[in-house]
Amino acid sequence: MTKVIAVTGKGGTGKTAITALLIRHLARCNKEILAIDADPDTNLPETLGCELEKTVGDMKQFMLTERDNLPPDINKESIFESKIYEIINEMPDYDLLVMGRPEGSGCYCYVNNLLRGIMDRFVTNYDVVILDTEAGLEHFSRKIIRDVDDLLVVTDGSRRGLRTAERIRELTEELETNIRNIYVIANKVTDTNREKIANLARELDLKLIGTVPVDRMIEERDLAGDPLFDLPEDSIAVQEVERIAKELGL
């Protein structure tokens, strides 16, 4: 059975970093992984250290041209599928699909609709599908992400970060999305705020599954523009993410 994990939360809390560290863990467990960068800002490839070639957004022009040229009896779905396979970046340890943004227009409906289709059709080929989403609630309010086993809401030490988690939980309940579990991961945690965050999460009735500390190794790599994928085992963030992964049964 494929496990679908989506990572969400307020801007800048560390969604992409946590996603990359989870992929790092899964790769070391030899899982078949599809990583999807669903953020139009596209940061996951860099954080993983993957040279990006193609994005789903780039397909828009191709599909528009093809639509007019294709004979009416041809199965457009199969063309769509073969095109998606071309766009999946096959890395040694994982496959990466980058949604990106459609060329030219400011509307993401096209890319989002494709993402919905991908989620419906492609996920069963993998052990784990993990999505890094953009900040905000759009992927949920538009029901682009519907069937998820574990939704991980990343928060920082701020009250606002935990409020976002609360709002995401309310929204997913209202929309009757098919999300099995919602967990909160507090990131960039320090000894000073660890307990306060845990108390606030309890007050808000949020399931705090882990607290990832501020990690100097991440800060250094960020400044140097180096990926997080090959962080060593003695990184304190790696250790906590591995613990979280085990708790999630990964």
Ligand X SMILES: Nc1ncnc2c1ncn2[C@@H]1O[C@H](COP(=O)(O)OP(=O)(O)OP(=O)(O)O)[C@@H](O)[C@H]1O
* Candidate list 5, 6, 16, 168; residue touching ligand X; CB under 6 A: 16
Please state, as a whole number, how many other Cβ atoms lie within 10 Å of the Cβ of residue 120: 11
Partner from ligand X, Mg ion, none contacting 187, C-beta within 5 to 8 A by type? ligand X
Q: How far is the CB of 85 from ligand X (least distance, A)?
A: 27
Q: How far is the CB of 213 from ligand X (least distance, A)?
A: 6
Run of H or E residues at 126? none
CA dist 212 and 91 (Å) reads 27
Residues 34, 38, 42, 48, Cα dihedral to 10°: -30
Q: Candidates 7-15, 60-68, 69-77, 111-119 — which segment interacts with Mg ion by CB under 5 A?
A: 7-15
Q: Considering only CA atoms, which of 159, 198, 155 is closest in space to residue 14?
A: 155
Query: Residue 155: CB partners within 8 Å, gap ≥ 6?
Result: 9, 10, 13, 161, 162, 164, 165, 184, 185, 186, 187, 197
Q: How far is the CB of 206 from Mg ion (least distance, A)?
A: 21
Cβ pair 184, 165 in contact under 8 A = yes
For residue 131 the two structure tokens come to 């999505």
Nearer to ligand X, 134 or 149 (CB): 134
Binding mask 78-97 for ligand X (x = CB under 6 A): --------------------
Partner from ligand X, Mg ion, none contacting 11, C-beta within 5 to 8 A by type? ligand X
Binding mask 36-55 for Mg ion (x = CB under 5 A): -------x------------
DSSP string, 40-68: TT--HHHHHT------GGGHHHHHHHHHH
Partner from ligand X, Mg ion, none contacting 247, C-beta within 5 to 8 A by type? none
Binding site for Mg ion (CB under 5 A): 15-16, 43
Binding site for ligand X (CB under 6 A): 11-17, 39, 43, 135, 187-188, 212, 214-215, 218-219, 222, 237
